[in-house]
Amino acid sequence: MRTRVGRPHRRAADARRRSDALRPLRRSPGARRAWSLVGLFLLAACGGPGDAPPVEVTVPAGAPFAAVVDTLETHGIVARPGAFSLYARMKGADREIRSGRYAFRPGERWSVLVRDLTEGRVLTVPVTIPEGFRLVDMVPRIAAVTAEDSTRVLAALTAAGAAERWDVPGPTLEGYLFPDTYRFAPGVPVHDVIAAMVGRYKAFWTPERRAALDSLGLNERELVTLASIIQAEARRVEEMPVISAVYHNRLRIGYLLQADPTVLYALGGRRERLLYAAIDSVADSPYNTYTQSGLPPGPIGAPGEAALEAALYPSGDDFLYFVARPDGSHIFTRSLQEHNRAREEVRRAWNRLRERPTSGAGGR
């Protein structure tokens, strides 16, 4: 008969393993911390904002992180401020919060909150500067977003030496604050607005456009000045290259430009009709192209991209004159005789327009 050696020891070992399997799992401190981190990151990733509208909150400059969290909790954006604080600190975000005005939806993901607050994705508002605007036209729109007094904004735009400071041809910033739609944070400094607009202007000048400028025999200031006149004259973008050709032709043969918008600039603003007496009143102005040869000293407004392109690339037409119809289109002609006939045609068109009975004024 064989003796079975070791079986009692194996049974005891199996019993211990079964007993251990039934005991609660004991985690090390490192494991518990790891599971806590997982839980926080799951909280940050799950859920998301509902359909509630965004809530605006302001983070003052130098505000402690705890105050920022309190603000988020007060506005219902963060429901677990303690957990969110821990999450932000683990991300290293508690020391990177940027001041400004933000818009968050209640219940927004923590990852989005941390990203926006550390990257400074502040609330912005659009500011649209239309083509042809002069500096004085821009002042109210810039003042509204900067919360600065209009007088101070105008002083910043027209300050002596501003053209040199911003490295544009001058003689002032007129014509070099590029017309476009920008987005700025409310209360942005005027300096930042000017920087964005001048930067947009400079971005226009690609190497190809610089080469086209060199081929024309004009410098940058002269080109922008011409573009500003084209911008003021044209009502239809497709006519800009033809208007450009007229002015290029006149400059080449030494004709006066006789551009009404330059006289209006000398007079200080727009008028319903430009009379000869008004033209004579500013005869000595360098912006009066009825009395002064060549281009004015600088732009008379902010030309857009289409006008700048037209100044750089005029059509090949040999026209020397144009006159505007009531609908804003133009009649282009090559001789003074043709021009006078076109002016008479336009005069009759205006008369017919004025003679039409207005609806609701007793007409039948």
Q: What is the pLDDT of residues 158-188, one digit of tens each?
A: 999 999 999 999 999 999 999 999 999 999 9
Residue 212 lies in a domain: no
252 and 223 in a single domain? The answer is yes
* Domain interval for residue 149: 125-204
Identify whether 293 is part of a domain: yes
Per-residue model confidence (pLDDT) at position 240: 98
Name the residue among 54, 47, 92 with its Cα closest to residue 72: 54
- Report if residue 356 sits inside a domain: no
Based on the structure, what is the number of domains in the chain? 3
The pLDDT score that the predictor gives to residue 355 is: 86
Q: What are the start-end ranges of the E strands in the chain? A: 55-59, 100-104, 125-128, 181-184, 321-324, 330-333
Q: Are residue 182 and residue 88 in the same domain, yes or no?
A: no
Does residue 260 lie in a domain region? yes
Contact 296, 264 (CB under 8 A): no
Sign (positive/negative) of CA torsion 313, 129, 192, 98?
Answer: negative
Residues 140 and 112 placed together within one structural domain of the fold: no
245 and 172 housed in the same domain: no
Are residues 196 and 241 both part of a single domain? no
In this structure, the answer to whether residues 94 and 131 fall within a common structural domain is no
The pLDDT of 195-207, averaged and rounded, is: 98
Asked, for residue 360, whether it belongs to a domain, the answer is no
On whether both 103 and 149 belong to a single domain, the answer is: no
The answer to whether 45 touches 115, Cβ cutoff 8 Å, is: no
Q: Which two tokens stand for residue 87?
A: 């999450």
| 129 and 152 together in one domain | yes
Whether 177 and 243 map to the same domain: the answer is: no
| CA angle centred on 230, ends 342 and 161, rounded to 5° | 145
Above 50 in pLDDT, residue 2?
Answer: no
pLDDT (tens digit, 9 = 90+) per residue, 127-161?
999 999 999 999 999 999 998 999 999 999 999 99
* pLDDT given at position 363: 36
pLDDT given at position 7: 53
**Residue 228 shares a structural domain with residue 309:** yes
Residue 360 is encoded by which pair of tokens?
């609701």
**Domain stop point among 172, 204, 236:** 204
pLDDT tens per residue across span 72-96: 999 999 999 999 999 999 999 999 9
Locate all alpha helices (DSSP H) within 75-165, ordered by sequence: 81-90, 110-119, 135-146, 150-157, 162-165
The whole-chain average pLDDT of the chain stands at 88
Domain boundary among 63, 97, 119: 119
The share of the chain scoring above pLDDT 90, in percent, equals 77
Per-residue model confidence (pLDDT) at position 59: 94
What is the model's pLDDT at position 37?
A: 53
Residue 134 within any structural domain of the chain: yes
pLDDT tops 70 at residue 38 = no
Q: pLDDT: is 140 or 41 the higher one?
A: 140
Tell me if 39 is assigned to some domain. Answer: no
For 300-338, the pLDDT digits (tens) are 999 999 999 999 999 999 999 999 999 999 999 999 999
Domain end call among 204, 227, 251: 204
Q: How many CB atoms lie within 10 A of CB 29?
A: 7
Residue 273 lies in a domain: yes
In the chain, % of residues over pLDDT 70 = 85
**Tokens describing residue 162:** 């501003």
- How crowded is residue 45: how many other Cβ atoms within 10 Å of its Cβ? 11
Split at pLDDT 50, 70, 90, the class of 16 is low
Q: What is the CATH number of the domain that holds 72?
A: 3.30.1490.480
| 263 and 313 belong to one structural domain | yes
One domain, residues 76 and 94: yes
pTM summary value: 0.79
